[in-house]
A and B are shown apart, each in its own frame.
Chain A
């Protein structure tokens, strides 16, 4: 049986490669906030209070562009609605935790952490204290996001835009799902979701991030039905 700390460490090491994209992204975000005219404390506060990379950029962009608060808030809600799906998946593994622990651990659920911890949970169903994996990956990502935002706020302009570091984001997500490419049904669902997202990208409030996963899940539903 692994100790809590050992599982926490596995979470850290599993998510560590993804810091390659999280840290540059955090720096870019901090720089963008200042560039858009927000003060350093406000820019940083979004990392602490909202803590959701893409949604923070959209939030500040919309506000600085003169959009109403309602639109900015709605967009954040829509972009982050994907966490509902993560929660539904993770609830199976976290259902034995006390309410307080659930409240606490929820704050640390992010894309990359969800992805690596979900894989770990699937493989180690019998293990106690599995949620320490999610804490390990989540707290690592949280710390790096906070620190890199601050770095971005102060030094952001020295990261040359020509490097195109934003491209590291799709790459890190490719790395996350690469093993699912081996399954034909998953590959098909991925292509449908991806094309739907590209098609609906300009829909209001960035709602493509909600629409395309739902189209993908509906496709999965049809596949499962067909398989029977």
Chain B
């Protein structure tokens, strides 16, 4: 049963990847639709970031002093000025660990 579920879930996931690329004719998209698609990264990734920072493992809001909030803010500030991917992630993790282990 579990194996069947894994295969069906895999098929559906593959379809979400393949569907738009193979079935959609490029000309279906008009200029406006394409402009809206420009925002796709800006709508999907914050939908993963915000809950990952603001909520705990049980889906409740964390308190304002949570190390994750400061880790994320550090990453945003460092990333904004450095434009460097590694520095962004590393500074966020470093400040997060600093708050957890040193304080």
Contacts and interface: CB of A to CB of B under 8 A. Distances in A.
Interface of A: 17-18, 20-21, 38, 42, 45-46, 49-52, 54-55, 59, 63, 69, 72-73, 76-77, 80-92, 94-95, 99, 102-103, 105-107, 109, 111, 114-115, 118, 162-164, 166-182, 186, 189-191, 193-198, 201-202, 208-209, 212-213, 215-217, 220-221, 224
Given A18-B85, A221-B36, A88 B26 contact: no
Interface of B: 1-10, 12-14, 16-22, 24, 26, 29, 32, 34-55, 59, 61, 68, 71-72, 75-76, 79-80, 83, 85-86, 88-90, 92-93, 96-97, 100
B13 A80 contact: yes
Interface majority SS on B: helix, strand, loop or mixed? Answer: helix
A215 B5 CA distance: 30
A153 to B, nearest CB: 15
B90 A20 contact: yes
A168 B6 contact: no
Given A88-B24, A177-B45, A180-B41, A106 B14 contact: yes
Nearest to B55: A201
Contact of B12 (A77, A92, A217): A77
A190 B42 CA distance: 5
Contacts of A105: 21
Contact of B49 (A20, A59, A170, A215): A170
B83 A83 contact: no
B47 to A, nearest CB: 4
B50 A198 contact: yes
Contacts of A49: 6-7, 9-10
A212 B54 CA distance: 15
Contact of B20 (A21, A91, A220): A91
